[in-house]
A and B are shown apart, each in its own frame.
Chain A
Amino acid sequence: MTTERPLTGSMKLNGEPLDIREYEKAGGYQAFRKALGSMTPAEIQSVVKDSGLRGRGGAGFPTGQKWSFMPAVDTVPGPRYLIANADEMEPGTFKDRVLIEGNPHQLIEGIIISAYALQVDRAYIFLRCDYRRGAMRLLRALEEAYAANYAGKNILGSGFTLDIRLHVSAGRYICGEETALLNALEGRRPVPRAKPPHPQTCGLWGRPTVINNTETFCNIPHIVDKGAAWFKGLGLTEGGTKIYTASGRVKRPGAWELPLGTPLRDLLNEHAGGMADGYSFRAVIPGGASTDFLLEEHLDVNMDFTAPQKFGSRLGTGGLIVLDDRTCPVGLVSNLIHFFSRESCGWCTPCREGLPWVAKTLQAIEDGEGRPEDIGILEGHTRLLGPGNTFCFLAPGAMEPLQSALTYFRDDFERHIREKRCPWR
């Protein structure tokens, strides 16, 4: 059976992006014409809601529902905004890079249709600054879209006007948190905002704003073009496809568009080609750095929005990070926490003070200077920095791989402390 790959099927094998002509030849901008030509904004919102599309950025919030919280234009007149979150910085995650570099027009078409559905006339693409190739390709694609009057004033005579701008950030993980992202766009220090109010009612410059992930937007044209039932049929256990990626000591690190719910074992063995020669599988972080480890016994889990929760983990970004038998699990977790500690924005105390403390403790254990009581201290921090105690999800996310590591690799932690060294070094 050949799997349908709406998001990546038309991408070129040589890695070059589709230009506007090639994209249209492959069916691009058909959904856009259909939407603006024959559908009302409410009809588009309704098909997106019916499709059951869930946000692809990590949290998995239903997109149609998110959109529905934005007040109608006649109840709240004035500026309203749409933002594509392309600030992809979760370690082990590069799906949005693949989508942007391979087919920038698909993202732009998704933005235009969504903006029309939400009656927004200003959209931003918030891109991380290290994706320089992506920035160049998006700028070129935006020029082409404007030249074709798919964006800009009175699009194809429809009376609908949309300005799309590319904001290239300057490097901080926290900017991917949607309210920090709003502050970043306003030129304020990018720390998260208190919720409520939610961005849909009070977002950019206090105006109604919807923020969706890049991969989420890329799904919109296909849903509008082929319908909700088709979209639902794409997945194995839940609707749509997912861009899964794998990295670490596997034979073929990479990105694959597969039915949502593809078993973890298939991702690892079939698509990533199994472990590299000389390495054995130990565990996997299945959805970017902020998710809990899964073990061999969990590999039959369907990688969708619900199934991994049975084993205490999450789909997250769908970015698999593989831990092999020749890599120290304590060192790996120490590296993860070092990242989160460095990227903490410093706004709330548990995260600002707690993460460096955890990082220091882990490094001490890795360096052979750990004390037996350190394991309890680390466990305590997984609760202190857990959900409900911090301003945003950065620190609770950081605690996910740590808490499962303390359970699954307990012996390794204890051995470091007992032998006063890292057994892998």
Chain B
Amino acid sequence: MLTEEEKTEIMSAIRHHESGRAACVDVLKIVQRHRGWVSDEIHDIAGLLDMTTEEVDGLATFYSFIFRKPVGKHMILICDSVCCWTMGYEVMREHLTARLGIRPGETTGDGQFTLLPVSCLGLCDAAPAMIIGDEVFGNLTTEKIDAILERYAD
């Protein structure tokens, strides 16, 4: 069941768009902001958007940053594309997997971190780079990664 708060936000998003369908990506993001991921409330969402469940799920699973499975509190998006790869992505990834004890795509047991290698983040002049939440981290070294993880650990 969608919460009243989610429903209010969704209806407001629909009003700002040409149609429910056009609001779909924004609506999925609303649900994801509340829950961390897009749960099977996708049925209810489809009803509000005047779309079929399959259409909404087709979009939700198409986009890289709409999650249809639970993810950690902090998403570590590490760029695995060409410039970051050239500048040491693999070393950074290995360091992160060793530090967190997870493989790429997995979430730590305490639910704190999910590690996700992603397509070029447009931070090529600061490669290797990653994003956690709204924060951008460039010119990564293993030491920098240690310091960043310390800050996020609560």
Q: Please report A residues at the B interface, Cβ cutoff 8 Å.
A: 88-94, 96-97, 128-133, 167-173, 184-190, 205, 245-249, 253-255, 285, 289, 319, 321-324, 327, 331-332, 335-336, 338-339, 342-343, 345
Q: How far is the CB of B37 from chain A (nearest CB, A)?
A: 13
Closest B residue to A285 by beta carbon equals B82
Q: Which of B107-154 contact A (CB under 8 A)?
A: 118-127, 131, 134, 136
Count: A-B pairs, CB below 8 Å: 130
The dominant DSSP class at the A interface is mixed
Q: Give 27 CB contacts A-B under 8 Å.
A: A88-B122, A89-B119, A89-B122, A91-B83, A93-B122, A93-B124, A94-B124, A168-B29, A170-B66, A171-B118, A172-B64, A173-B119, A187-B17, A187-B21, A187-B49, A188-B21, A247-B124, A247-B125, A247-B127, A254-B125, A289-B81, A289-B120, A319-B124, A321-B124, A332-B86, A335-B82, A336-B82
Give the docked Cα–Cα distance between A286 and B125 (Å): 15
Chain A: minimal CB distance from B10 (Å): 13
* B19 at interface, CB cutoff 8 A: yes
- A187-B22, A187-B25 in contact; A171/B64 too (CB < 8 A)? yes
Please state if A128 and B122 are interface contacts (CB–CB under 8 Å).
yes
CB of A221 to closest CB in B, whole Å: 24
Is B22 a contact of A186 with CB atoms below 8 Å? yes
1/0 per residue B32-60: CB within 8 Å of A? 00000000000000000101000000110
CB neighbours (8 Å) of A322 from chain B are 86
Instruction: Kindly list chain A residues whose C-beta atoms are within 8 Å of the C-beta of B49.
Output: 187
Contact A89 B120 (CB under 8 A): yes
The interface residues of chain B lying within 8 Å CB-to-CB of A249 are: 86-87
Among B23, B29, B127, contact of A187 (Cβ-Cβ < 8 Å): B23
Q: Which 4 A-B pairs have the closest CB atoms?
A: A170-B63, A171-B64, A187-B21, A247-B124
- Pairwise interchain contact A169-B82, C-beta atoms closer than 8 A: no
